[in-house]
Amino acid sequence: MTNILNAIYNISKLNNLEVEEIKGGGNRMVNLGEGLEIFVKNAFAGTYEDLDKKAKIAKFSDVFSYEGSKRTPPDLMLKGGDAIEVKKVETLTSELQLNSSYPKNKLFSDSKLINNHCRTCEDWREKDIIYTIGHVLKKSKKLSSIWFVYGSLYAADPSTYTSLKHTLTESLENTNNINFSPTNEIGRVNYVDPLRITNLRIRGMWLLKPPFKAFDYVHRYSKEANFQYIAIIPKSKYYSFDEASRNQIEQLETIKIYDDKVQNPNNPAHLIDCKIIRYQR
């Protein structure tokens, strides 16, 4: 079964660190974002060197149970393994735009935010989720750094976010003189104008502090490196991976693995044991 350690190993063996710019459409950032998703997909599938399109498609089918849509999370799901959400930034300090999907500590099959194809692609109830953030340099296609952070270290329990949504919805519902309709987002206000032909759709835009800022006390980022990746993995998760995967990266001198602790997203006074995995060149 493929896991994050295999992806880390495959990236460390790469010479070309340019992200493919997918042609079509006029938005370069979106096109590079799609290219980053392909880069990450190849990392997990081990298909960077595969030139045969048919063979690569077959490998993707073996590794992934779901390849996501543009409108709903996640971007990828490993068969019997983790979910993966990919985000591209052009500066290390840029907030991650999650749109109407709040941060997730795990992905659940009964979530209203996923589509039915994701829900039924395999027999599953919950999956750990990996936030994968690629820093692609401005005016370039060069990947400067890539970060892998488990959601359980990055996001609080779902109730933290859904309770805020419910509070906002209830506040609008109880406001006089507006015609409010509840939706899967925050809500909708109907008949705003005297002609009763204008409606207001109210949706959330969730923004998440990037790992460069959120984990500045543990990540050991190097400003001098030409390229680097940093993975932040719960210690218990790390040791759940098969021994062969762990040995593969532990035996590489270019990969450094540290024991550290990060704050619990639900209670910062409690620290979670984790592994910080770094590679740079």
Locate 218 and state its tokens. 């543990």
Helix axes of 28-45 and 53-63: crossing angle, nearest 10 degrees: 70
Looking at mean pLDDT, say which of 17-31, 67-81, 235-249 comes out highest. Answer: 235-249
Give me the chain's average pLDDT, please: 91
| CA 96 to chain CA mean position, Å | 9
Q: pLDDT band at residue 113, thresholds of 50, 70 and 90?
A: confident
Cβ-contact 107, 129 below 8 angstroms: yes
How far apart, in whole angstroms, are the C-alpha atoms of residue 124 and residue 120? 8
**What confidence score (pLDDT) does residue 100 get?**
83
Cβ-contact 263, 271 below 8 angstroms: yes
- Encode pLDDT of 120-129 as tens digits: 999 999 999 9
Q: What is the pTM of this model?
A: 0.92
- Encode pLDDT of 44-68 as tens digits: 999 998 889 999 999 999 999 999 8
Which secondary structure element, helix H or strand E, spans residue 49, and what is its range?
A: none
E strands within the chain? 64-67, 76-78, 83-89, 96-99, 106-108, 126-136, 143-150, 179-181, 187-190, 200-202, 206-208, 228-234, 255-264, 267-280
Q: pLDDT band at residue 32, thresholds of 50, 70 and 90?
A: low
Q: pLDDT at residue 174 above 90?
A: no
Helix (H, G, I), strand (E, B), or coil: what is residue 201?
A: strand
Q: pLDDT at residue 30 above 60?
A: no
Identify the residue with better confidence: 27 or 122.
122
Locate 179 and state its tokens. 């015609």
- Relative to beta strand 228-234, strand 200-202 is unpaired
- Encode pLDDT of 176-186 as tens digits: 888 988 887 88
